[in-house]
Amino acid sequence: MAIETALTRRLGLSVPVILAPMALVSGGALAAAVSRGGGLGLIGGGYAEGDWLSEQIAHAGNAEIGIGFITWALARNPDLLAVALDRRPRAIFLSFGDLRPFAPAIARAGIPLICQVQTLHDAEIALGEGASVLVAQGTEAGGHGGGRSTMALVPEIADMAGDVPVAAAGGIVDGRGLAASLMLGAGGAVCGTAFFASRESLSHAKAKERAVAASGDETVRDALFDLVRGRDWPTRWTNRTLRNDYHRGWSTRLHTLREQMTEQRPRYFAAQEAGDMDVAATIVGEGVGLVRDIEPAGTILDRMVAEAEARLRNGGGDFIGNG
Protein backbone atom coordinates (compact mmCIF):
# COMPACT_ATOMS: atom_id res chain seq x y z
CA MET A 1 0.00 0.00 0.00
CA ALA A 2 1.37 3.41 -0.96
CA ILE A 3 0.15 6.57 0.78
CA GLU A 4 -0.61 9.09 -1.95
CA THR A 5 -2.09 12.44 -0.98
CA ALA A 6 -2.47 15.96 -2.31
CA LEU A 7 0.73 16.78 -0.42
CA THR A 8 2.80 14.04 -2.02
CA ARG A 9 1.49 14.97 -5.46
CA ARG A 10 2.17 18.68 -4.95
CA LEU A 11 5.77 18.14 -3.80
CA GLY A 12 6.61 15.02 -5.80
CA LEU A 13 7.14 12.78 -2.75
CA SER A 14 6.68 9.05 -2.37
CA VAL A 15 5.87 9.29 1.36
CA PRO A 16 3.92 12.08 3.12
CA VAL A 17 6.59 13.11 5.61
CA ILE A 18 8.51 16.39 5.76
CA LEU A 19 11.51 16.89 8.03
CA ALA A 20 11.06 19.95 10.21
CA PRO A 21 13.84 22.48 9.45
CA MET A 22 15.15 22.45 13.03
CA ALA A 23 17.67 25.26 13.48
CA LEU A 24 21.23 23.91 13.78
CA VAL A 25 19.87 20.32 13.99
CA SER A 26 18.46 19.59 10.52
CA GLY A 27 21.69 19.78 8.54
CA GLY A 28 22.50 18.62 5.04
CA ALA A 29 23.11 14.97 5.92
CA LEU A 30 19.79 14.58 7.75
CA ALA A 31 17.85 16.43 5.05
CA ALA A 32 19.42 14.24 2.38
CA ALA A 33 18.58 11.05 4.30
CA VAL A 34 14.90 11.97 4.60
CA SER A 35 14.67 12.97 0.95
CA ARG A 36 16.34 9.76 -0.18
CA GLY A 37 13.78 7.87 1.88
CA GLY A 38 10.97 9.40 -0.16
CA GLY A 39 10.03 12.33 2.06
CA LEU A 40 11.13 15.95 1.93
CA GLY A 41 14.26 16.75 3.89
CA LEU A 42 14.72 20.38 4.87
CA ILE A 43 17.89 22.08 6.01
CA GLY A 44 17.12 24.34 8.96
CA GLY A 45 18.44 27.74 7.90
CA GLY A 46 17.53 28.91 11.36
CA TYR A 47 18.94 32.24 12.42
CA ALA A 48 20.12 33.16 8.90
CA GLU A 49 23.79 32.31 9.37
CA GLY A 50 25.18 32.27 5.85
CA ASP A 51 28.38 30.27 6.31
CA TRP A 52 26.57 27.52 8.20
CA LEU A 53 23.85 27.28 5.56
CA SER A 54 26.34 27.08 2.68
CA GLU A 55 28.24 24.35 4.50
CA GLN A 56 25.11 22.29 5.07
CA ILE A 57 23.94 22.73 1.48
CA ALA A 58 27.28 21.22 0.45
CA HIS A 59 26.78 18.31 2.88
CA ALA A 60 23.45 17.52 1.21
CA GLY A 61 25.27 16.74 -2.04
CA ASN A 62 22.93 16.15 -4.96
CA ALA A 63 19.93 15.15 -2.84
CA GLU A 64 16.69 16.96 -3.64
CA ILE A 65 16.26 18.86 -0.39
CA GLY A 66 14.40 21.95 0.71
CA ILE A 67 15.52 24.85 2.92
CA GLY A 68 13.66 26.40 5.82
CA PHE A 69 14.03 29.74 7.57
CA ILE A 70 12.88 31.45 10.74
CA THR A 71 11.24 34.27 8.84
CA TRP A 72 11.90 37.11 11.29
CA ALA A 73 15.60 36.15 11.31
CA LEU A 74 15.71 35.99 7.52
CA ALA A 75 14.37 39.55 7.49
CA ARG A 76 17.63 40.60 9.19
CA ASN A 77 19.70 38.96 6.45
CA PRO A 78 17.38 38.86 3.42
CA ASP A 79 20.19 38.24 0.93
CA LEU A 80 20.39 34.69 2.26
CA LEU A 81 17.19 33.84 0.42
CA ALA A 82 19.07 34.23 -2.87
CA VAL A 83 21.69 31.75 -1.63
CA ALA A 84 18.93 29.27 -0.90
CA LEU A 85 17.18 29.80 -4.22
CA ASP A 86 20.44 29.34 -6.13
CA ARG A 87 20.52 25.77 -4.79
CA ARG A 88 17.20 25.16 -6.63
CA PRO A 89 15.66 23.51 -3.57
CA ARG A 90 12.58 21.38 -3.81
CA ALA A 91 10.81 23.90 -1.55
CA ILE A 92 11.35 26.90 0.70
CA PHE A 93 9.79 26.64 4.16
CA LEU A 94 8.98 29.84 6.08
CA SER A 95 7.68 30.12 9.63
CA PHE A 96 7.50 32.65 12.47
CA GLY A 97 7.26 36.03 10.82
CA ASP A 98 5.96 38.08 7.91
CA LEU A 99 6.38 36.02 4.75
CA ARG A 100 5.09 38.76 2.45
CA PRO A 101 8.50 40.35 1.68
CA PHE A 102 9.83 36.96 0.50
CA ALA A 103 6.92 35.22 -1.23
CA PRO A 104 7.26 37.08 -4.59
CA ALA A 105 10.92 36.12 -5.07
CA ILE A 106 10.16 32.49 -4.24
CA ALA A 107 7.28 32.50 -6.73
CA ARG A 108 9.44 34.07 -9.46
CA ALA A 109 11.98 31.30 -8.94
CA GLY A 110 9.28 28.69 -9.47
CA ILE A 111 9.99 27.10 -6.07
CA PRO A 112 7.09 25.80 -3.94
CA LEU A 113 6.52 27.86 -0.79
CA ILE A 114 5.66 25.94 2.37
CA CYS A 115 4.26 28.18 5.11
CA GLN A 116 4.00 27.01 8.70
CA VAL A 117 1.15 28.66 10.59
CA GLN A 118 -0.17 28.59 14.13
CA THR A 119 -3.51 30.39 13.67
CA LEU A 120 -6.26 30.77 11.10
CA HIS A 121 -5.17 34.37 10.54
CA ASP A 122 -1.66 33.18 9.70
CA ALA A 123 -3.18 30.71 7.25
CA GLU A 124 -5.24 33.41 5.54
CA ILE A 125 -2.12 35.50 4.94
CA ALA A 126 -0.17 32.51 3.61
CA LEU A 127 -2.96 31.55 1.23
CA GLY A 128 -3.16 35.13 0.01
CA GLU A 129 0.56 35.04 -0.78
CA GLY A 130 0.22 31.90 -2.89
CA ALA A 131 1.55 29.27 -0.48
CA SER A 132 1.90 25.85 -2.13
CA VAL A 133 1.53 24.01 1.19
CA LEU A 134 0.34 25.03 4.65
CA VAL A 135 1.76 23.45 7.79
CA ALA A 136 -0.66 23.60 10.72
CA GLN A 137 1.61 23.54 13.76
CA GLY A 138 0.16 22.63 17.13
CA THR A 139 1.63 23.62 20.46
CA GLU A 140 2.81 20.05 21.12
CA ALA A 141 5.71 20.71 18.76
CA GLY A 142 9.27 21.00 19.95
CA GLY A 143 11.00 24.33 19.62
CA HIS A 144 8.95 27.41 18.93
CA GLY A 145 5.21 27.45 18.47
CA GLY A 146 1.90 28.92 19.50
CA GLY A 147 -0.98 27.92 21.73
CA ARG A 148 -3.37 25.90 19.55
CA SER A 149 -3.37 22.10 19.74
CA THR A 150 -2.67 19.94 16.70
CA MET A 151 -5.91 17.94 17.02
CA ALA A 152 -8.12 21.02 16.74
CA LEU A 153 -5.99 23.26 14.51
CA VAL A 154 -5.32 20.84 11.65
CA PRO A 155 -8.95 20.19 10.59
CA GLU A 156 -9.83 23.88 10.84
CA ILE A 157 -7.00 24.85 8.55
CA ALA A 158 -7.64 21.89 6.24
CA ASP A 159 -11.23 23.07 5.85
CA MET A 160 -10.21 26.62 4.93
CA ALA A 161 -7.27 25.68 2.68
CA GLY A 162 -9.31 24.44 -0.26
CA ASP A 163 -7.04 22.88 -2.88
CA VAL A 164 -3.87 23.83 -1.01
CA PRO A 165 -2.41 20.75 0.73
CA VAL A 166 -1.97 20.86 4.49
CA ALA A 167 0.61 19.08 6.62
CA ALA A 168 0.14 18.54 10.34
CA ALA A 169 2.90 19.34 12.84
CA GLY A 170 3.20 18.99 16.58
CA GLY A 171 3.48 15.73 18.49
CA ILE A 172 3.70 13.48 15.41
CA VAL A 173 6.51 11.00 16.00
CA ASP A 174 5.34 7.60 14.73
CA GLY A 175 2.98 5.96 12.27
CA ARG A 176 0.01 6.35 14.55
CA GLY A 177 0.48 10.11 14.50
CA LEU A 178 0.94 10.13 10.74
CA ALA A 179 -2.24 8.11 10.19
CA ALA A 180 -4.13 10.38 12.59
CA SER A 181 -2.92 13.43 10.66
CA LEU A 182 -4.42 12.02 7.49
CA MET A 183 -7.71 11.33 9.28
CA LEU A 184 -7.79 14.98 10.41
CA GLY A 185 -7.66 16.13 6.80
CA ALA A 186 -3.94 16.72 6.38
CA GLY A 187 -2.00 15.28 3.47
CA GLY A 188 1.00 14.39 5.60
CA ALA A 189 3.08 15.45 8.56
CA VAL A 190 6.05 17.62 9.44
CA CYS A 191 8.23 15.82 11.98
CA GLY A 192 11.11 17.22 14.01
CA THR A 193 11.34 15.42 17.34
CA ALA A 194 11.10 12.08 15.53
CA PHE A 195 14.46 12.83 13.88
CA PHE A 196 16.11 14.87 16.66
CA ALA A 197 18.07 11.86 17.94
CA SER A 198 18.72 10.31 14.54
CA ARG A 199 22.28 9.44 13.69
CA GLU A 200 22.43 12.09 10.98
CA SER A 201 21.10 14.96 13.07
CA LEU A 202 23.46 17.67 14.32
CA SER A 203 22.15 17.44 17.88
CA HIS A 204 24.89 16.95 20.45
CA ALA A 205 25.33 13.27 21.39
CA LYS A 206 24.39 14.08 24.99
CA ALA A 207 21.22 15.83 23.82
CA LYS A 208 20.27 12.72 21.85
CA GLU A 209 20.79 10.59 24.93
CA ARG A 210 18.68 12.97 27.01
CA ALA A 211 15.88 12.86 24.43
CA VAL A 212 15.83 9.06 24.26
CA ALA A 213 15.53 8.86 28.06
CA ALA A 214 12.78 11.50 28.38
CA SER A 215 8.99 11.48 28.37
CA GLY A 216 6.58 14.09 27.15
CA ASP A 217 5.77 14.94 30.78
CA GLU A 218 9.21 16.54 31.04
CA THR A 219 8.65 19.20 28.37
CA VAL A 220 7.82 22.81 29.09
CA ARG A 221 6.99 25.78 26.85
CA ASP A 222 8.32 29.22 27.79
CA ALA A 223 10.97 31.82 26.88
CA LEU A 224 13.72 31.04 29.41
CA PHE A 225 16.25 29.55 27.01
CA ASP A 226 15.64 32.25 24.41
CA LEU A 227 16.46 34.83 27.06
CA VAL A 228 19.73 33.25 28.13
CA ARG A 229 20.81 32.57 24.53
CA GLY A 230 20.08 36.13 23.47
CA ARG A 231 17.57 35.03 20.83
CA ASP A 232 15.20 37.95 20.35
CA TRP A 233 12.05 35.96 19.66
CA PRO A 234 8.70 37.73 19.24
CA THR A 235 6.63 37.10 22.36
CA ARG A 236 3.82 35.26 20.55
CA TRP A 237 6.07 32.21 20.02
CA THR A 238 7.50 30.36 23.00
CA ASN A 239 10.00 27.50 23.04
CA ARG A 240 9.26 23.88 24.05
CA THR A 241 12.23 22.14 25.62
CA LEU A 242 12.95 19.49 28.23
CA ARG A 243 12.88 20.77 31.78
CA ASN A 244 16.37 20.49 33.31
CA ASP A 245 18.30 21.74 36.34
CA TYR A 246 18.93 25.13 34.77
CA HIS A 247 15.25 25.58 33.98
CA ARG A 248 14.20 24.56 37.48
CA GLY A 249 16.65 27.03 38.96
CA TRP A 250 15.80 30.07 36.83
CA SER A 251 12.28 29.76 35.38
CA THR A 252 10.68 31.71 38.22
CA ARG A 253 13.55 34.23 38.47
CA LEU A 254 13.77 35.73 34.99
CA HIS A 255 14.27 39.24 36.33
CA THR A 256 17.31 38.10 38.29
CA LEU A 257 18.57 36.15 35.29
CA ARG A 258 18.47 39.32 33.17
CA GLU A 259 20.59 41.07 35.78
CA GLN A 260 23.18 38.26 35.70
CA MET A 261 23.39 37.80 31.94
CA THR A 262 27.08 38.77 31.74
CA GLU A 263 27.85 35.67 33.77
CA GLN A 264 25.03 33.36 32.71
CA ARG A 265 25.18 33.66 28.93
CA PRO A 266 28.81 32.47 28.62
CA ARG A 267 28.02 29.70 31.11
CA TYR A 268 25.11 28.57 28.95
CA PHE A 269 27.06 28.49 25.68
CA ALA A 270 29.97 26.66 27.32
CA ALA A 271 27.52 24.03 28.54
CA GLN A 272 25.97 23.77 25.09
CA GLU A 273 29.38 23.18 23.53
CA ALA A 274 30.29 20.57 26.15
CA GLY A 275 26.96 18.76 25.99
CA ASP A 276 26.05 19.58 29.59
CA MET A 277 22.33 19.04 29.23
CA ASP A 278 21.65 19.91 32.86
CA VAL A 279 22.27 23.50 31.70
CA ALA A 280 21.82 23.53 27.90
CA ALA A 281 18.38 23.10 26.37
CA THR A 282 17.21 19.89 24.73
CA ILE A 283 14.71 21.30 22.23
CA VAL A 284 12.09 18.61 21.62
CA GLY A 285 8.33 18.26 21.66
CA GLU A 286 5.75 16.34 23.64
CA GLY A 287 6.22 13.31 21.42
CA VAL A 288 9.75 12.76 22.75
CA GLY A 289 8.52 9.86 24.89
CA LEU A 290 8.08 7.88 21.65
CA VAL A 291 11.74 8.39 20.67
CA ARG A 292 13.41 5.33 22.16
CA ASP A 293 16.67 4.84 20.28
CA ILE A 294 19.35 6.60 18.24
CA GLU A 295 18.77 5.28 14.73
CA PRO A 296 19.39 6.19 11.08
CA ALA A 297 16.83 8.62 9.72
CA GLY A 298 15.89 6.17 6.98
CA THR A 299 14.98 3.53 9.56
CA ILE A 300 12.80 6.00 11.46
CA LEU A 301 11.06 7.10 8.27
CA ASP A 302 10.46 3.58 6.97
CA ARG A 303 8.97 2.44 10.28
CA MET A 304 6.72 5.48 10.53
CA VAL A 305 5.31 4.99 7.05
CA ALA A 306 4.89 1.22 7.43
CA GLU A 307 3.00 1.67 10.69
CA ALA A 308 0.78 4.35 9.17
CA GLU A 309 0.03 2.10 6.20
CA ALA A 310 -0.94 -0.74 8.54
CA ARG A 311 -3.24 1.52 10.54
CA LEU A 312 -4.89 2.88 7.43
CA ARG A 313 -5.25 -0.54 5.85
CA ASN A 314 -7.10 -1.78 8.91
CA GLY A 315 -9.60 1.00 8.31
CA GLY A 316 -10.95 1.08 11.85
CA GLY A 317 -11.90 -2.59 11.85
CA ASP A 318 -10.87 -2.94 15.47
CA PHE A 319 -13.56 -0.52 16.56
CA ILE A 320 -16.55 -0.87 14.19
CA GLY A 321 -18.76 -3.88 14.81
CA ASN A 322 -21.01 -5.70 12.37
CA GLY A 323 -24.18 -5.27 14.37
Kindly state whether residues 107 and 233 are assigned to the same domain.
Answer: no
pLDDT of residue 319: 52
Kindly state whether residues 95 and 152 are assigned to the same domain.
Answer: yes
Do 195 and 34 meet the contact criterion of CB atoms below 8 Å apart? yes
Alpha helices for the chain (secondary structure H): 6-11, 28-36, 50-59, 71-74, 80-86, 103-108, 120-128, 150-161, 175-183, 193-196, 205-213, 224-229, 245-250, 254-259, 261-274, 297-314
User: 66 pairs with which residues across the strands?
Assistant: 42
Kindly state whether residues 196 and 210 are assigned to the same domain.
Answer: no
Kindly state whether residues 209 and 181 are assigned to the same domain.
Answer: no
pLDDT of residue 320: 53
Kindly state whether residues 77 and 196 are assigned to the same domain.
Answer: yes
pLDDT of residue 160: 96
- Does residue 17 have a pLDDT over 80? yes
Kindly state whether residues 31 and 62 are assigned to the same domain.
Answer: yes
Residue 195 lies in a domain: yes
Q: Which residues contact 254 (CB under 8 A, 6 or more apart)?
A: 223, 224, 227
- Average pLDDT score over residue span 163-192: 98
Do 240 and 145 meet the contact criterion of CB atoms below 8 Å apart? yes
Q: In which element (H, E) is residue 78 found?
A: none
Kindly state whether residues 14 and 47 are assigned to the same domain.
Answer: yes
Residue 322 lies in a domain: no
Nearest-Å Rg of the Cα atoms of the chain is: 19
Kindly state whether residues 194 and 215 are assigned to the same domain.
Answer: no
Residue 22 lies in a domain: yes
- Average pLDDT score over residue span 252-279: 97
pLDDT of residue 10: 97
Cα–Cα dist 186/168, whole Å: 6
The CATH code of the domain that includes 177 is 3.20.20.70
Kindly state whether residues 129 and 172 are assigned to the same domain.
Answer: yes
Residue 75 lies in a domain: yes
pLDDT of residue 46: 83
Residue 213 lies in a domain: yes
- Average pLDDT score over residue span 261-266: 97
Residue 317 lies in a domain: no
Give per-residue pLDDT as tens, 65-112. Answer: 999 999 999 999 999 999 999 999 999 999 999 999 999 999 999 999
- Does residue 321 have a pLDDT over 80? no
Do 39 and 23 meet the contact criterion of CB atoms below 8 Å apart? no
Kindly state whether residues 197 and 212 are assigned to the same domain.
Answer: no
Residue 106 lies in a domain: yes
**Domain count across the chain:** 2
Sorting pLDDT into bands at 50, 70 and 90, what band is 1?
A: low
- Average pLDDT score over residue span 188-212: 98
pLDDT of residue 50: 85
Residue 129 or 315, more confident: 129
Kindly state whether residues 267 and 215 are assigned to the same domain.
Answer: yes
Residue 148: phi, psi to the nearest 5? Answer: -80, 145
Do 137 and 170 meet the contact criterion of CB atoms below 8 Å apart? yes
Average pLDDT, the chain: 95
Residue 316 lies in a domain: no
Kindly state whether residues 185 and 297 are assigned to the same domain.
Answer: yes
Give per-residue pLDDT as tens, 23-75. Answer: 999 999 999 999 999 999 999 998 878 899 999 999 999 999 999 999 999 99
Which residue range is the domain that position 211 belongs to?
205-283
Sorting pLDDT into bands at 50, 70 and 90, what band is 314?
A: confident
